[in-house]
Amino acid sequence: MARREIIAGNWKMYKKSGEALDLVKALLAGIDGIGGREVAVFPPSPWAKQVADLCRGSKISVGMQNMYFEQEGAFTGEVSPAMVKDAGCRYILIGHSERRHVFGETDEQVNKKVRAAFTNDIEPMICVGELLEEREKGLTNEVLKRQVEKALEGIGAAEMKKVVIAYEPVWAIGTGKVATPEMADEAHLYIRTVIKGLYGQETADGLPVLYGGSVKPDNSAGLHAKENIDGFLVGGASLKAESFLDIIRVK
């Protein structure tokens, strides 16, 4: 089964408005000839609508990096799912390791956000991955199983067609370390095994699983060649048009 190929760029807390729009314009000018491959960008939330307006009708989809799970209310500083949708965003990044480990987001909160995404017709890109100490203790699969199962509680098989999962080993994010293609492929295959147990083989075969963790132009080809790696969630290398376009075009 041919799966969706997605190259996503998470800009984190970088880029002022003019820089964000300049980056998108450079990407739009350079993405011809990528075939059916999908591109998504996750700008800081203040610029999401401007970026989404610029990308409307193009091959670039836009998402937000985080949202709260309530529709509205007295939640100072938060962004609601309705606001994400109103800004023109297709995707929402949920459970990124920085949300989990810097801001203390729990598996239960991740699940509430996934459910809220579906209520508002937003496609969730769910991040999972283990800490270095967890990998060293041989707990990688245990962590992945827990995070995937908890994130998807209450989500039906039909909704799974809109789910993307990004595997990001926490020890490889922003550190310059990268999982070997074999390590990443093994983790992606295990995630599919968990999905198969929950939803069956067809859903597992169709699920796009992206790799995130110090992806750069010089390591993307080796990762992309692996059977279970369907694209990337790129951090630092997505902040420059040239390096992100090199990854988008990877053979």
Q: What residues are annotated to the active site? A: 96, 168
Give how far Cα 103 sits from Cα of 92, 97, 180, Å: 17, 9, 28
Phi, psi at 8, each rounded to 5°: -115, 145
Q: What CA–CA distance (Å, rounded) separates 107 from 2?
A: 30
Give how far Cα 187 sits from Cα of 110, 226, 248, Å: 20, 12, 22
| Coil, helix or strand at residue 41 | strand
Which token pair is 68? Answer: 């709260």
Q: What CA–CA distance (Å, rounded) separates 51 from 24?
A: 7
Q: Cβ distance 128 to 144 under 8 Å?
A: yes
Residue 4's CB is within 10 A of a number of other CB atoms, namely 15
